[in-house]
Structure 1
Amino acid sequence: MNIIGERLRQLRENKQLSQGEVAKLIGVSRPAYVLYETGRSKPLRKIKELCALFNVSADYILGNDVEPINKKEMDKKKPADLEKFLNQSEIMFDGEVMKLSEEDRQEIKNALEFIFYKAKKKNKRKK
C-alpha cells in the first residue's frame, strides 16, 4: 500500500465507512475504490469527491501535506446559516428532538458539503 492508499483507508475507517459505502458515495464501483486503497490506481478523477467526503485537501490525499485539513481554508467556505445550525445542541428531525455531539455536527457538515458539491457540479454540466 502506498501513501494515497494508506490515507484513504485511514480516512474511511475514521468515518466508519466500508469500502462499498465510499465507492457508492463517490460514484465508482467497489472494486475500483479498492484499487485506490491498494495503490494499484490513483483516484485522480474522483479526487474532488473524496476531498468533499473526507473534508480534506487533495494535497493531503495525494501525500503532499502532513495535515489532513486546511482549517483556515475550510472556515472560509462555511455558510453562516449552516454554522448556526450546527452550533445548536439539539435539533428536531422527523418529529424527534435529537442531541448532537461535536462528532454528529461534523458528520452532518461533511455530508451536506458533499451534497452541495455534487449539486454544484451537476448544475455546471447543464449550462
Structure 2
Amino acid sequence: MLNQLSQSNCNITVVGNKACEAMVKESNSTFNFTMIKDASVVWEFLKGRKLPGVMALDRAYPFDIDWSDAYSDPAQPLVVDIGSGNGMFLLGMAKTRKDLNFLGLEINKKLVKRCLDSVHWCGIRNG
C-alpha cells in the first residue's frame, strides 16, 4: 500500500531502524520514501507527548508568529533543526534548497544573533 501511495502525490516518511530496514528490503528502488532511522524523539512526538525542548520554546516565545514575515513563501515545506548551533548548516541548505523553508532553534543567544545577522546579510528569505 505504501508503494502505491508513493506513486501518487503522497510523501511517505518511515521512522525507526527496523521499519527502514523492512522498507528497503520490501520496496523496489523506484519508490521515494523519507527514512528516519534513529528517531526516538519523533516517536515521542507522534505519541502526543510533550517534548521538553518544545515546551521550553513555548514558554520562551508565547506568541504567534506571522510566517509570511519570516518566509517569502510560507507554504513551502519546513525543515526544523533543533540545536542548530551557529546555523551554518541551515544557512548553506537555505542557499541551495530554495524549495524549502528552514528554521533553526538554538538556546545560545550569541549564536542565534550571529546566524540571524548572516541570514539578513545574505538576503535569505527561506531561512
Task: Give the structure-1-normalised TM-score.
Answer: 0.27
Q: Answer 1 or 2: which has greater strand percent.
A: 2
TM-score by length of 2: 0.27
